[in-house]
C-alpha cells in the first residue's frame, strides 16, 4: 500500500466515479459491437488495454 501526503492527493486529478467508468465501458462496448467487432475482437481490445495499464503500473514502481 502506498502512503501519500495530503499535498500529493490534492495535486492529483480527480478520479471519475465507478458509475461514470461503467457508462464509459458500456459506450465503448456498444460502439465496438456496432462497428462490427466480434466478441473475440473486444476481448483482445480489453486485453491490450489491461496490458497498457499493467505496463504503466510496473514502470511507476
| 9 located within any domain | no
Share of the chain above pLDDT 70, in %: 75
Residue 37, exposed/middle/buried by CB under 10 A (0-12, 13-18, 19+)?
Answer: middle
pLDDT at 38 over 80: yes
The answer to whether residue 30 sits within a structural domain is: yes
pLDDT of residue 6: 52
pLDDT of residue 35: 98
Name the residue range of residue 27's domain.
Answer: 15-60
- Alpha-carbon dihedral angle through residues 46, 48, 53, 56, given to the nearest 10 degrees: 180
Domain count, the chain: 1
59 C-beta neighbours (distance < 10 Å), count: 7
More reliable by pLDDT, 54 or 61: 54
Residue bearing the bigger pLDDT, 6 or 19: 19
Amino acid at each position: 500500500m502506498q502512503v501519500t501526503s495530503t499535498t500529493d492527493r490534492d495535486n492529483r486529478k480527480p478520479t471519475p466515479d465507478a458509475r461514470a467508468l461503467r457508462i464509459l465501458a458500456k459506450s465503448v462496448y456498444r460502439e465496438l459491437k456496432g462497428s462490427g467487432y466480434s466478441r473475440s475482437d473486444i476481448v483482445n481490445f480489453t486485453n491490450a488495454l489491461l496490458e497498457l495499464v499493467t505496463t504503466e503500473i510496473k514502470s511507476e514502481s
